[in-house]
Chain A
Amino acid sequence: MMTRLPEPAGLLLDRTEQVSFRFEGRQFQGYRGDTVASALAANDVSVLSRSFKYHRPRGIHSLSGLDANTLVQVGPAPNRFADREPLVPDLEVTGQNYWGTLRHDRLAVFGLLHRFFPVGFYYKAFYKPRWTWPLWAKMIRRIAGLGTVDTNAPHGYFDKQYLFCDVLVVGGGAAGLAAASQAAAAGAEVILVDENAALGGGLLYGRADAGGIRAEEERARLVGDVEGSDRISVMTETACLGRYADNWLPLVRGNRLYKLRTKALVVATGSLEQPLVFRNNDLPGVMLSSAAQRLIKLYGVKPGRRAVVATADDEGYGAALDLLDAGVEVAAVVDLRMDAPRTAMGDTLAARRVPVHAASAPWEAVAQRKGAGVARVRVARIEEDGVCAPSVDSFSCDLLVVSGGHAPAAALLRQAGAIFTYDSDRHATTVAELPSDVFAAGDVAGTSGLDAAMADGRRTGWQAAQAAGLDVGPEPAAPAEEEPAAAQAAWPIFAHPDHKAFVDLDEDVQVHDLEDAIAEGYDHVELLKRFTTNGMGPSQGRHSSLNAVRILARAKSRSVDETGVTTVRQPIVPVTMGHLAGRSFEPVRYTAMHFRHLEAGATMMPAGLWLRPEFYGDKARRQALIGEEAKNVRDNVGIIDVSTLGGLDVRGPDAAEFMNRMYTFAYLKQPVGRSRYVLMTDLGGVVVDDGVACRMHEDHFYVTATTSGVDNVYREMLWYNAQWRLKVDVTNVTAALAGVNIAGPNCRPVLETLCDDVDLSPEGFPYMGVREGHVAGIPTIFLRVGFVGELGYELHVPASQGEALWDALMEAGKNHGIRPFGVEAQRLLRLEKGHILIGQDTDGLTTPHEADMAWALAKKKPFHVGIRSVRMQAAKGLTRKLVGFEMPGVGVEQPKECHLVIRGGEITGRVTSVAYSPNLDKIVGLAYVAPDQSEPGTKIEIRVDGARMVNATVAKIPFFDPDGARQEL
Chain B
Amino acid sequence: MAFGLLKYGLSRRRPVKRFLAARPELRPSYDVAIIGGGGHGLAAAYYLAARHGVRNVAVFDKGYLGGGNTGRNTAIIRSNYLTPEGVAFYEESMRLYRGLSEELDYNILYSERGHFTLAHSDSAMRTSRWRAEVNKHLGVDSEVVEREELARLVPLLNMSDEVRHPVLGALYHPPGAVARHDAVAWGYAGRAQELGVEIHQETEVTGIKIENGRVVGLETSRGPIACGKAMQAVAGLSGQVARLAGFTLPIRTVPLQACVSLPLKPFLDPIIVSGSLHVYISQSDRGELVMGGATDPYPRYQTSSTLDFMEGLMAHILELFPFMVDVPVLRQWAGMTDMTPDFAPVMGLTPVENYYIDSGWGTWGFKATPVCGTTMAEMIATGRVPELIKEFRLDRFRNFSLLGEKGAASVGH
Which of A's residues lie within 8 Å of B, judged by CB? 52, 71, 76-80, 113, 115-118, 121-130, 133-134, 136-137, 140-142, 144-156, 158, 241-242, 244-245, 248, 250, 257, 259, 515-516, 519-524, 526-527, 530-531, 533, 537-538, 540, 567, 569-571, 574-578, 580-582, 584, 586, 588, 605-606, 684-685, 839-840, 843-845, 869, 872-873, 876, 896-900, 902, 907, 910, 943, 947
CB contact between A127 and one of B107, B165, B305, B330 (< 8 Å): that residue: B107
Interface residue? B319 (CB, 8 A): yes
- The reply to whether A845 and B402 form a contact with Cβ atoms under 8 Å apart is yes
Q: How far is the CB of B296 from chain A (nearest CB, A)?
A: 12
Residue pairs across A and B with Cβ atoms less than 8 A apart, 28 shown, are: A78-B327, A117-B5, A122-B285, A127-B101, A127-B102, A130-B102, A144-B287, A148-B267, A149-B327, A150-B326, A153-B324, A156-B326, A244-B307, A519-B16, A521-B190, A522-B20, A523-B20, A527-B20, A540-B330, A580-B313, A580-B315, A581-B315, A581-B318, A581-B325, A584-B315, A845-B402, A899-B133, A910-B130
Contact with A along B1-34 (1 / 0, CB 8 A): 1111110111000011111111000000000000
- The reply to whether B182 and A575 form a contact with Cβ atoms under 8 Å apart is no
- The reply to whether B4 and A125 form a contact with Cβ atoms under 8 Å apart is yes
| CA A943 to CA B341, docked complex, whole Å | 30
Q: Kindly list chain B residues whose C-beta atoms are within 8 Å of the C-beta of A118.
A: 5, 8-9, 16
| CA A76 to CA B182, docked complex, whole Å | 33
Q: Kindly list chain A residues whose C-beta atoms are within 8 Å of the C-beta of B310.
A: 570-571, 580
CB contact between B400 and one of A116, A121, A876 (< 8 Å): that residue: A876
- The reply to whether A580 and B327 form a contact with Cβ atoms under 8 Å apart is no
Interface residue? B404 (CB, 8 A): yes
| CA A522 to CA B20, docked complex, whole Å | 7
Interface residue? B71 (CB, 8 A): yes
| CA A588 to CA B166, docked complex, whole Å | 13
| CA A872 to CA B400, docked complex, whole Å | 8
- The reply to whether B325 and A144 form a contact with Cβ atoms under 8 Å apart is no
- The reply to whether A130 and B98 form a contact with Cβ atoms under 8 Å apart is yes
- The reply to whether A76 and B400 form a contact with Cβ atoms under 8 Å apart is no
| CA A65 to CA B379, docked complex, whole Å | 53
Q: How far is the CB of A373 from chain B (nearest CB, A)?
A: 26
| CA A526 to CA B98, docked complex, whole Å | 27
Interface residue? B304 (CB, 8 A): yes
Beyond A124-B5, A907-B134, whether A245 also contacts B326 by CB under 8 A is no
Which of B's residues lie within 8 Å of A, judged by CB? 1-6, 8-10, 15-22, 63-65, 67, 71, 84, 98-99, 101-102, 106-112, 120-123, 126-127, 129-130, 133-134, 136-137, 156, 164-165, 180, 182-183, 186-187, 190, 201-202, 261-267, 285-287, 304-307, 310-311, 313-315, 317-319, 322-333, 341-343, 399-400, 402, 404, 406-407
Using CB atoms, name the residue of chain A closest to B202.
A524
Q: Kindly list chain B residues whose C-beta atoms are within 8 Å of the C-beta of A580.
A: 310-311, 313-315, 329
Beyond A574-B330, A606-B165, whether A79 also contacts B262 by CB under 8 A is yes
Q: How far is the CB of A579 from chain B (nearest CB, A)?
A: 8
- The reply to whether B328 and A526 form a contact with Cβ atoms under 8 Å apart is no
CB contact between B17 and one of A117, A158, A520 (< 8 Å): that residue: A520
- The reply to whether B129 and A898 form a contact with Cβ atoms under 8 Å apart is yes
- The reply to whether B333 and A115 form a contact with Cβ atoms under 8 Å apart is no
- The reply to whether A521 and B19 form a contact with Cβ atoms under 8 Å apart is yes
Q: Kindly list chain B residues whose C-beta atoms are within 8 Å of the C-beta of A947.
A: 136
Q: How far is the CB of B238 from chain A (nearest CB, A)?
A: 20
Beyond A130-B101, A133-B101, A149-B327, whether A569 also contacts B305 by CB under 8 A is yes
Q: Kindly list chain A residues whose C-beta atoms are within 8 Å of the C-beta of B22.
A: 521, 523
- The reply to whether B311 and A581 form a contact with Cβ atoms under 8 Å apart is yes
| CA A951 to CA B311, docked complex, whole Å | 50
- The reply to whether A538 and B330 form a contact with Cβ atoms under 8 Å apart is yes
Q: Kindly list chain A residues whose C-beta atoms are within 8 Å of the C-beta of B126.
A: 840, 897-898
Q: Kindly list chain A residues whose C-beta atoms are within 8 Å of the C-beta of B307.
A: 241-242, 244, 248, 250, 259, 570
Using CB atoms, name the residue of chain B closest to A144.
B287
| CA A839 to CA B130, docked complex, whole Å | 13
- The reply to whether A569 and B263 form a contact with Cβ atoms under 8 Å apart is no
- The reply to whether B328 and A576 form a contact with Cβ atoms under 8 Å apart is yes
| CA A137 to CA B107, docked complex, whole Å | 11
Using CB atoms, name the residue of chain A closest to B291.
A577
- The reply to whether B305 and A577 form a contact with Cβ atoms under 8 Å apart is no
- The reply to whether B265 and A148 form a contact with Cβ atoms under 8 Å apart is yes
- The reply to whether A151 and B8 form a contact with Cβ atoms under 8 Å apart is no
Beyond A519-B15, A530-B71, whether A123 also contacts B9 by CB under 8 A is no
| CA A257 to CA B311, docked complex, whole Å | 10
Beyond A125-B3, A149-B323, A526-B64, whether A137 also contacts B16 by CB under 8 A is no
Residue among A71, A121, A142, A147 with the highest chain B CB neighbour number at 10 A: A147
- The reply to whether B287 and A122 form a contact with Cβ atoms under 8 Å apart is no
| CA A241 to CA B306, docked complex, whole Å | 12
Beyond A149-B327, A245-B304, A576-B326, whether A52 also contacts B263 by CB under 8 A is yes
Beyond A79-B328, A140-B285, A576-B325, whether A145 also contacts B130 by CB under 8 A is no
Q: Kindly list chain B residues whose C-beta atoms are within 8 Å of the C-beta of A531.
A: 182, 186
CB contact between A520 and one of B9, B19, B99 (< 8 Å): that residue: B19
Q: How far is the CB of B387 from chain A (nearest CB, A)?
A: 16
- The reply to whether B330 and A134 form a contact with Cβ atoms under 8 Å apart is no
| CA A519 to CA B402, docked complex, whole Å | 48
| CA A125 to CA B5, docked complex, whole Å | 6
- The reply to whether A873 and B400 form a contact with Cβ atoms under 8 Å apart is yes
Beyond A127-B102, A519-B15, A576-B327, whether A898 also contacts B133 by CB under 8 A is yes
- The reply to whether B16 and A146 form a contact with Cβ atoms under 8 Å apart is no
* 6 interchain residue pairs of minimum CB distance: A145-B287, A521-B20, A574-B328, A125-B2, A116-B9, A77-B326
Residue among B2, B183, B325 with the highest chain A CB neighbour number at 10 A: B325
| CA A146 to CA B330, docked complex, whole Å | 13
- The reply to whether A116 and B402 form a contact with Cβ atoms under 8 Å apart is no
Q: Kindly list chain A residues whose C-beta atoms are within 8 Å of the C-beta of B3.
A: 125
| CA A571 to CA B263, docked complex, whole Å | 15
Q: Kindly list chain A residues whose C-beta atoms are within 8 Å of the C-beta of B5.
A: 116-118, 121, 124-125
CB contact between B84 and one of A71, A515, A907 (< 8 Å): that residue: A907
Using CB atoms, name the residue of chain B closest to A76.
B326
- The reply to whether A520 and B18 form a contact with Cβ atoms under 8 Å apart is yes
- The reply to whether B107 and A126 form a contact with Cβ atoms under 8 Å apart is yes
Q: How far is the CB of B199 from chain A (nearest CB, A)?
A: 10
Q: How far is the CB of A606 from chain B (nearest CB, A)?
A: 6
| CA A622 to CA B333, docked complex, whole Å | 47
- The reply to whether B15 and A515 form a contact with Cβ atoms under 8 Å apart is yes
Beyond A117-B5, A155-B318, A259-B307, whether A899 also contacts B264 by CB under 8 A is no
| CA A839 to CA B101, docked complex, whole Å | 42
Beyond A78-B262, A527-B64, A840-B123, whether A578 also contacts B326 by CB under 8 A is yes
Q: How far is the CB of B333 from chain A (nearest CB, A)?
A: 6
CB contact between A78 and one of B16, B183, B264 (< 8 Å): that residue: B264
Using CB atoms, name the residue of chain A closest to B2.
A125
CB contact between A145 and one of B2, B67, B264 (< 8 Å): that residue: B264
CB contact between B121 and one of A146, A567, A606 (< 8 Å): that residue: A606
Q: Kindly list chain B residues whose C-beta atoms are within 8 Å of the C-beta of A52.
A: 263
| CA A532 to CA B134, docked complex, whole Å | 42
Beyond A144-B266, A244-B305, whether A520 also contacts B16 by CB under 8 A is yes
Using CB atoms, name the residue of chain B closest to A588.
B164
| CA A125 to CA B19, docked complex, whole Å | 15
Q: How far is the CB of B25 from chain A (nearest CB, A)?
A: 16
| CA A527 to CA B121, docked complex, whole Å | 43
Q: Kindly list chain B residues whose C-beta atoms are within 8 Å of the C-beta of A122.
A: 107, 109, 285
Beyond A146-B262, A520-B20, A580-B310, whether A574 also contacts B323 by CB under 8 A is no
Q: Kindly list chain A residues whose C-beta atoms are within 8 Å of the C-beta of B98.
A: 130
Q: How far is the CB of A478 from chain B (nearest CB, A)?
A: 35
CB contact between A571 and one of B127, B137, B332 (< 8 Å): that residue: B332
CB contact between A577 and one of B4, B190, B314, B402 (< 8 Å): that residue: B314
Beyond A144-B286, A900-B133, whether A521 also contacts B332 by CB under 8 A is no
Beyond A125-B4, A133-B110, A605-B122, whether A845 also contacts B314 by CB under 8 A is no
CB contact between B137 and one of A80, A133, A576, A900 (< 8 Å): that residue: A900
